[in-house]
């Protein structure tokens, strides 16, 4: 089932969201890949980077069911430990994601299946939003903003990059259509600028170039903070991994 054209000590990483266009680590190969059993979804409440505890936004997670098209990155053995440390620091900050090794099908000759590191949604975490109705997602995203910017820009950037990578995500496309009336001219301009930048990167070596040139009513919801016992429960993986 699994080929042998890649050294066993090399590390594969499966990206399904911002890791696809902004991995932030060195890799020697990036190929389209498909993960069965999980799908890409706006299923995580963001209370810092794209929202606040009083007005949380939504960010992507890898949730159970369906399948997900993404990018598999091959990392050489000599940098694998450093890349793992970087990814754990990036993804395991709040414990809402958990590290997993999953089989993915890669579009390359000689090795159709590889085992890859990825991060999936932790359904028991208070920040797990689940399968929200699309209109509910629109209401959350249209007013949410955090340390990294507003939630609408995050969603539009996701849709833009997925389209440039040739990945059809009909649920996200529908979300963009529903969001249309709530977009401001500034947000539309920033999205067009992001698309022009991504277009330029795609001309040479799409995935690698993008990774190197990386970039009103309130909603009645309150995402609760983690208590001490929950922090111990969800942060233990990072502690064990030296993150």
Cα–Cα distance, 175 to 39 (Å, whole number): 16
**Could you tell me if residue 224 is inside a domain?**
yes
Structure tokens at 12: 């594969």
Q: Is residue 170 part of a domain?
A: yes
Residue pair 223/47 in contact by the 8 Å Cβ criterion: yes
In-domain check, residue 151: yes
What pLDDT shows up at residue 238? Answer: 53
pLDDT score at 214: 34
Count of structural domains, the chain = 1
**Does 243 reside within a domain?**
no
DSSP 112-135: SEEEEEEEEE-TTSTTB--S--HH
Does any domain span residue 40?
Answer: yes
> What is this structure's pTM?
0.74
Instruction: CATH number of the domain at 165, please.
Output: 3.10.490.10
In a domain, 98, yes or no: yes
Q: DSSP letters along 69-116, please?
A: EEEEEEE-HHHHHHHHHHHHHHH-SSSSEEEEEEEEEESSTT-SEEEE
CA-based radius of gyration for the chain: 18
Residues of the chain with pLDDT under 50: 3-4, 185-186, 188-190, 198-221, 243
Which DSSP state fits 182? Answer: G
∠ CA 188-211-186 to the nearest 5 degrees? Answer: 10
Candidates 215, 194, 193; CA nearest to 24 is: 215
Exposure of 225 in the CB half-sphere (CA atoms within 13 A):
6
What pLDDT score was predicted for residue 108? 78
Question: Looking at the domain assignment, is residue 155 inside a domain?
Answer: yes
Two tokens, residue 60: 């992507």
Active site residues: 91
- Domain of residue 89: give its range: 11-237
pLDDT confidence of residue 41? 96
Residue 24 lies in a domain: yes
Q: How far apart are CA 156 and CA 58, in angstroms?
A: 12
The model's pLDDT over 158-187, given as tens digits with 9 standing for 90+, comes to 999 999 989 999 999 999 998 876 665 445
pLDDT at position 206 is 37
Which pLDDT value is given to residue 113? 92
């Amino acid at each position: 089932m699994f080929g042998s054209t890649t050294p066993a000590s090399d590390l594969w990483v499966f990206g399904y969201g911002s890791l696809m266009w902004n991995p932030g680590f060195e890799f020697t190969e990036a190929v389209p890949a498909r993960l069965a059993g999980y799908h890409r979804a706006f299923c995580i409440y963001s209370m810092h980077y794209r929202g606040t505890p009083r007005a949380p936004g939504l960010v992507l997670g890898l949730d159970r069911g369906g399948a997900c098209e993404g990018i598999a990155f091959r990392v050489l053995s000599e940098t694998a430990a450093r890349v793992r440390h970087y990814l754990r620091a990036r993804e395991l900050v709040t414990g809402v994601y958990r590290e997993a090794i999953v089989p993915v099908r890669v579009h390359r000759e000689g090795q159709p299946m590889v085992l890859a590191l990825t991060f999936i949604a932790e359904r028991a975490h208070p920040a797990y939003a689940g399968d929200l109705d699309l209109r509910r997602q629109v209401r959350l995203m249209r007013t949410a903003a955090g340390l990294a910017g507003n939630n609408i820009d995050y969603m539009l950037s996701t849709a833009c990059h997925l389209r440039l990578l040739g990945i059809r995500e009909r649920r996200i496309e529908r979300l963009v259509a529903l969001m249309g009336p709530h977009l401001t001219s500034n947000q539309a301009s920033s999205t067009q600028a992001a698309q022009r930048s991504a277009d330029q990167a795609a001309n040479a070596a799409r995935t690698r170039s993008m990774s190197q040139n990386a970039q009103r009513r309130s909603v009645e919801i309150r995402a609760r903070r983690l208590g001490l016992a929950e922090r111990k429960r969800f942060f233990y993986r990072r502690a064990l991994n030296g993150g």
